[in-house]
């Protein structure tokens, strides 16, 4: 267990409408609920919200920071969204060691905003070489 | 086509190819400062999932009030940039429960030699009172 840190460095991302617009272009996801549109204000969240996948990118970043390319080769990420990331917002993603064995290491991941609202939680597991 | 037009078990095929330029755009948009992705020409896993989802939305009109509730993704190998890839995306759940429709898509991504690189599972919920 000593081989793996108990906590990984927190990833913080400032989410602005400009960043979300950039993400729409980069991902190809142009759903109007993520843009400053009438559809967003009439939508389920009453205002534009960040893409779930944009918020989720911080979970992958936190694992890559420690495990580098291994994460892209053998990583499993499983999350449930709890709340939307309203715009603007600062989000903070943290990871705490849950278990480690010869086969895999698992971290509990969670993402909160500045108001301490939980945006998503789940696990990130890295399969290890035998 | 609309989500409601699909039967459980329906599979859609999606062609993908992530350029290095697209990866660079993605890194800027997510604040990902790692230089590994460009140096090694690897597609970041969340971009793979996002790319599949974006192409799925081009083929299937999803309800405006669909909420993305869960996501699972597993890497079996790195996904190389500038490579032709094929995702098979299957609707594995479409059910009504507690005043909402719950839908799940599962995707397998393979390269041109049919080697499995990546799997993803997307779950969403549509509140019936708003649909």
Question: What number is the average pLDDT over the span A90-115?
Answer: 97
Domain boundaries, chain A: 7-14+51-127
B34 touching A, CB under 8 A? Answer: yes
Q: For residue B85, what pLDDT is reported?
A: 98
**CATH homologous superfamily of domain B3-127?**
Hotdog Thioesterase (3.10.129.10)
Q: For residue B74, what pLDDT is reported?
A: 98
Give residue-wise pLDDT tens across range A74-86: 999 999 999 999 9
Under the banding of pLDDT at 50, 70 and 90, the label for residue A16 is: very high
C-alpha distances (whole Å) from A40 to each of A47, A50, A110, B19, B79 are 5, 11, 26, 30, 33
Q: For residue A29, what pLDDT is reported?
A: 86
Q: Does A72 contact B44 at a Cβ distance shorter than 8 Å? A: yes
Q: What percent of chain B shows pLDDT beyond 90?
A: 85
User: What's the rounded Cα separation, in Å, for the pair A28 and B82?
Assistant: 17
Q: Which of A75, A79, A84 sits opposite B71 (nearest CB)?
A: A79
Give the H or E element holding residue B56.
Answer: helix B45-59
Minimum CA–CA partner of B116 in chain A: A73
Domain boundaries, chain B: 3-127
Residue of B43, B71, B126 best to disrupt the A interface, most CBs of A under 10 A: B71
Q: Which of A29, A43, A56 sits opposite B65 (nearest CB)?
A: A43
Give residue-wise pLDDT tens across range B15-39: 999 999 999 999 999 999 999 999 9
- Examine the pLDDT at A1 and tell me if it is beyond 70: no
Q: For residue A2, what pLDDT is reported?
A: 58
Q: Enter the ipTM.
A: 0.93
Q: Are strands B85-97 and B11-16 parallel, antiparallel or unpaired?
A: antiparallel
The residues in A 47-76 lying below 8 A from B, measured between CB atoms, are 51-54, 56-61, 64-65, 68-69, 71-76
CATH of A7-14+51-127, one of 3.40.190.10, 3.30.360.10, 3.40.220.10, 3.10.129.10: 3.10.129.10
A10 touching B, CB under 8 A? Answer: no
């Amino acid at each position: 267990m000593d081989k793996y840190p108990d906590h990984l460095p927190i990833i913080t991302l400032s989410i602005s409408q400009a960043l979300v617009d950039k993400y729409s272009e980069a991902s190809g996801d142009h759903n109007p609920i993520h843009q400053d549109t009438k559809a967003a204000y009439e939508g389920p969240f009453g205002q534009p919200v960040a893409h779930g996948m944009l918020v989720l990118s911080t979970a992958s970043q936190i694992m890559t920071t420690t495990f580098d390319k291994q994460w892209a080769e053998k990583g499993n990420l499983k999350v449930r969204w709890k709340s939307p990331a309203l715009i603007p917002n600062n989000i903070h993603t943290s990871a705490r060691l849950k278990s480690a064995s010869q086969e895999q290491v698992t971290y509990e991941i969670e993402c909160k905003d500045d108001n301490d609202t939980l945006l998503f939680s789940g696990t990130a597991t890295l399969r290890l070489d035998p | 086509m609309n989500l409601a037009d699909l039967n459980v078990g329906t599979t859609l095929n999606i062609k993908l190819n992530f350029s290095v330029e697209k990866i660079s755009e993605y890194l800027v948009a997510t604040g990902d400062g790692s230089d590994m992705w460009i140096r090694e020409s690897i597609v970041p896993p969340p971009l793979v999932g996002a790319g599949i989802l974006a192409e799925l939305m081009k083929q299937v009109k999803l309800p405006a009030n669909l909420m993305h509730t869960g996501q699972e993704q597993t890497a079996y190998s790195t996904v190389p940039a500038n490579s032709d890839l094929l995702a098979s995306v299957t609707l594995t759940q479409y059910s009504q429960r507690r005043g909402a429709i719950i839908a799940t898509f599962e995707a397998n991504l393979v390269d041109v030699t049919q080697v499995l690189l990546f799997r993803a599972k997307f779950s969403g919920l549509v509140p019936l009172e708003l649909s």
